[in-house]
Amino acid sequence: MTATMPQVNAEFGAKPIISFPDGPAPAGLKTVELVEGNGPMVRRGDTVTVNYHGVAWGREDPFDSSFDRHQPASFGIGVGQVIRGWDQSVPGHNVGSRLLVSIPPEYGYGSRGIPQAGIEGNDTLVFVIDIIETR
């Protein structure tokens, strides 16, 4: 893992615990595969089922977490159903993988953010994503 990315427990299926390094978020979209799965590869246009945990860079409390709800989410990937950072980072990884993704505002919610969700304008988003299924 690069020095500029947060540290995360790597166990697939475990609720993520994220520790941020000192300093600013890395520039650009960054994806680190913490666990390499051995299931089918996710391709653009697939419907994926994932567990995820999302926080704004440097914050402790998630703005959204399927781990907290105990309910995975399913959606089309690579087809504009989710933010661009997800569409570009999830395809190409296998079922069973745990990803750490740092998403700059231009690949997330931009300068507007989503204040009601606790995402401020220009926040860098960090997601831990467990890929459960693709079809």
Tens-digit pLDDT profile for the chain (135 aa)?
445 899 999 899 999 999 999 989 999 999 999 999 999 999 999 999 999 999 999 999 999 999 999 999 999 999 999 999 999 999 999 999 999 999 999 999 999 999 999 999 999 999 999 999 999
Domain 7-134 sits in CATH at: 3.10.50.40
CA dist., res. 80 & res. 87, Å (int): 7
Strands (E), the chain: 7-8, 18-19, 30-35, 47-56, 64-65, 73-76, 98-103, 125-134
**Beta-bridge mates of residue 124:** none
pTM over 0.75: yes
